[in-house]
């Protein structure tokens, strides 16, 4: 029988950017309601897949199991919880061999943590975070129905999924940070609250996708031209003070924040190519969250082509309609 894994990150959408900027708040009650809609979406099929949920220390998953639709078999994943990103990664690793599709509720950071461990399991990421470049802002019912159609092979998975590129930064001393949408270099000297707050701190980095409608480094790169997430290439950027630069762009750099950004270098990088930045003191971040403090380093940025298999929910429903999966007679 087909099986779906669900990961709900209780910490997503609740960092300091909701206080200092325009980021929206997604509380745990809202996440629970979205996840309950995911389960309802499974019933689009007469024989819905079984479900396993990652447990959490906020009790979200336990309440979802308690209120699950009677015709959907739901249980909690048997694992200990730490209340950190480790939970998402460990659950995704389990789902790599136990699930036919995976639904993740969170932002770019949660999606990245799942993507690093879920292997080739089709992943549908629903936006409930602060940085939401990769996750889709869709109704949970739509997400659940799409995940069910993929998990049961009701649609051709090759035609409704794509491999999303990833990007990486590696220091000369051997440390590395991997991102799903972006890896950023800032001139902050400490990780602190982790959230990248001030766009003036951003020195550059690398993105796996670019569009002027996206937030952060992906939006800055997108102001100069698009990059589809399904391509194996990446874009490397070195930024500068807009008032001192000959070339500037206007971009959405954070939730609720638009500004002019100076562009010192812009390079499209194919597999095997890289770009380096030297820095005396700073922090490397991934997908809007600061991760690694560095001092007197040369940082090499490069594309990672073998990323997660993401589900295009639009393609799922188009294929289902064309093939008659949703009709009778």
User: Tell me, what CATH number does 23's domain have?
Assistant: 3.40.50
Q: Is the pLDDT of residue 193 over 50?
A: no
How high is the mean pLDDT of the chain?
91
- Of residues 119 and 13, more confidence is placed in 119
Contact yes or no for 170/176 (Cβ under 8 A): yes
Indicate if 86 and 158 belong to the same structural domain: yes
Determine the pLDDT at residue 196.
53
| Residue 80: CB atoms within 10 Å | 8
> What is the model's pLDDT at position 13?
53
Q: Are residues 69 and 155 in the same domain?
A: yes
Percent of the chain whose predicted confidence (pLDDT) is above 90: 82
Q: In this model, does residue 19 exceed pLDDT 60?
A: no
Q: Does residue 328 lie within any of the structural domains? A: no
In a domain, 205, yes or no: yes
The pLDDT confidence band at residue 190, using thresholds 50, 70 and 90, is low
* Cα–Cα distance, 47 to 329 (Å, whole number): 18
Domain count, the chain: 2
| Same domain as 106, residue 67 | yes
Same structural domain for residues 23 and 55? yes
Assess whether pLDDT exceeds 90 at residue 197. Answer: no
Q: How many CB atoms lie within 10 A of CB 58?
A: 17
**Does 113 lie in the same domain as 176?**
no
Residue 254 domain flag: yes
Which of the four pLDDT bands, split at 50, 70 and 90, describes residue 18?
Answer: very low
8 and 134 both lie in a single domain: yes
Q: Are residues 128 and 172 in the same domain?
A: no
Per-residue pLDDT at 25 exceeds 80: no
The verdict on 65 and 175 lying in the same domain is no
Q: Would you say residue 280 lies in a domain?
A: yes
User: CB burial class (10 A; 0-12, 13-18, 19+) of residue 97?
Assistant: exposed
Cβ atoms within 10 Å of 70's Cβ, excluding its own: 6
Q: Assess if residue 329 is contained within a domain.
A: no
Q: Which domain holds residue 256?
A: 166-304
Same structural domain, 87 and 221 = no
């Amino acid at each position: 029988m087909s099986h779906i894994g669900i990961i709900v990150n209780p910490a997503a959408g609740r960092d300091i950017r909701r206080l200092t900027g325009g980021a929206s708040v997604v509380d745990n009650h809202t996440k629970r309601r979205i996840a309950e809609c995911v389960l309802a979406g499974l019933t689009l099929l007469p024989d819905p897949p079984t479900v396993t949920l990652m447990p959490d220390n906020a009790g979200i998953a336990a309440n979802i199991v308690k209120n699950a639709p009677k015709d959907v078999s739901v249980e909690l994943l048997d694992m200990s919880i730490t209340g950190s990103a480790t939970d998402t990664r460990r659950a995704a690793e389990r789902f790599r061999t136990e699930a036919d599709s995976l639904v993740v509720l969170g932002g770019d950071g949660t999606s990245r943590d799942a993507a690093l461990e879920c292997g080739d399991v089709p992943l549908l990421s629903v936006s409930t975070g602060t940085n939401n470049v990769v996750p889709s802002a869709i109704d949970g019912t739509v997400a659940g129905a799409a995940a069910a159609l993929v998990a049961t092979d009701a649609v051709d998975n090759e035609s409704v999924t794509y491999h999303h590129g990833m990007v990486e930064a590696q220091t000369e001393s051997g440390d590395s940070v991997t991102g799903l949408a972006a890896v950023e270099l800032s001139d902050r000297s400490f990780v602190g609250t982790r959230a990248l707050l001030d766009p003036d701190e951003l020195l550059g980095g690398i993105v796996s996708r670019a569009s002027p409608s996206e937030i952060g480094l992906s939006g800055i790169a997108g102001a100069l031209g698009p990059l589809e997430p399904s391509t194996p290439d990446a874009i490397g950027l070195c930024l500068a003070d807009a008032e001192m630069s000959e070339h500037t762009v206007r971009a959405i750099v954070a939730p609720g924040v638009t500004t002019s950004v100076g562009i010192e270098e812009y390079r499209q990088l194919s597999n095997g190519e890289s770009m380096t930045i030297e820095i005396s003191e700073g922090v490397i971040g991934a997908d809007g969250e600061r991760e690694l403090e560095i001092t007197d380093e040369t940082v090499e940025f490069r594309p990672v082509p073998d990323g997660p298999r993401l589900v295009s929910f639009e393609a799922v429903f188009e294929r289902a309609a064309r093939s008659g999966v949703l009709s009778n007679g």
